[in-house]
Amino acid sequence: MQHQYFISAIGTDSGKTFISSILVEALKAHYWKPIQAGLPKDTDQVKELVSNTESLFLEERFCLTAPMSPHAAAKIDNIKINLSDFELPKASKYKNLIVEGAGGLFVPINDGQNGKTDYVIDLIEKLNLPLILVCNLYLGSINHSILSLEAIKKRNIKLKGIIFNGESNPESEQIIENYVIHQLNSKVLLRIKQEKEISKETVKSHANQLIL
């Protein structure tokens, strides 16, 4: 069975790159970051955290210099980004693939000068991949998670599942998980507590716990 997933989150600095590394390791998947904004490159970080020798780390479609929203970083670099610029890499055909988005679902990838701003969620639809959503646990995360899940449901995007990232908060997790189960017919794939250190060993350990 082929596993190809898009990784997004309820916000920025959610741990998507760490979690992408776990998925790449578990599936021996190729990795692709369509839009990189700022350094260090997430592709290089994933490469350093993955132990298997089968994964390929594919070139970004856009590699922007400034660590900010893609629409603003592209303007600094005098680059225009359109949804039509993206298609799945040929190297990923018939292979497991993890695609990591930039920020959360509604991070803009262009400034709407063509009359319509495109967001990361539009890129997910364009690539037509099932989504894995990273849900962090903090004050306000229930609201951010359910707003994200509502948008996923409204657009009929296939949700493979969610991954909780952060110190356990059973009350918050229960509300979010109930929504995922009953509204999107999906599940929790993994629960990750706050890690003091991220290493190849950490990635391997979580990869062995992943439930797809």
**CA of 68: how far to CAs of 35, 43, 112, 181, 199, in Å?**
11, 17, 17, 34, 26
List the catalytic residue out of 16, 28, 33, 193: 33
Tokens of residue 207, six digits = 């990869």
Give the pLDDT of residue 148: 98
Catalytic residue list contains 33: yes
Residue % of the chain over a pLDDT of 90: 92
- Nearest CA to 20 out of 197, 174, 192, 183 is that of 192
Give the pLDDT of residue 89: 95
Average pLDDT of the segment spanning 18-31:
98
80, 41 contact by CB (below 8 A)? no
CATH of domain 4-207: 3.40.50.300
Residue 55 pLDDT exceeds 90: yes
Q: How confident is the model at residue 3 (pLDDT cuts 50, 70, 90)?
A: very high
Q: How confident is the model at residue 200 (pLDDT cuts 50, 70, 90)?
A: very high
pTM of this prediction?
0.97
Residue 157 pLDDT exceeds 90: yes
Q: How confident is the model at residue 52 (pLDDT cuts 50, 70, 90)?
A: very high
pLDDT, the chain, mean: 96
Give the pLDDT of residue 86: 98
pLDDT tens digits along 56-92? 999 999 999 999 999 999 999 999 999 999 999 998 9
pLDDT tens digits along 105-139? 999 999 887 678 999 999 999 999 999 999 999 99
Give the pLDDT of residue 70: 97
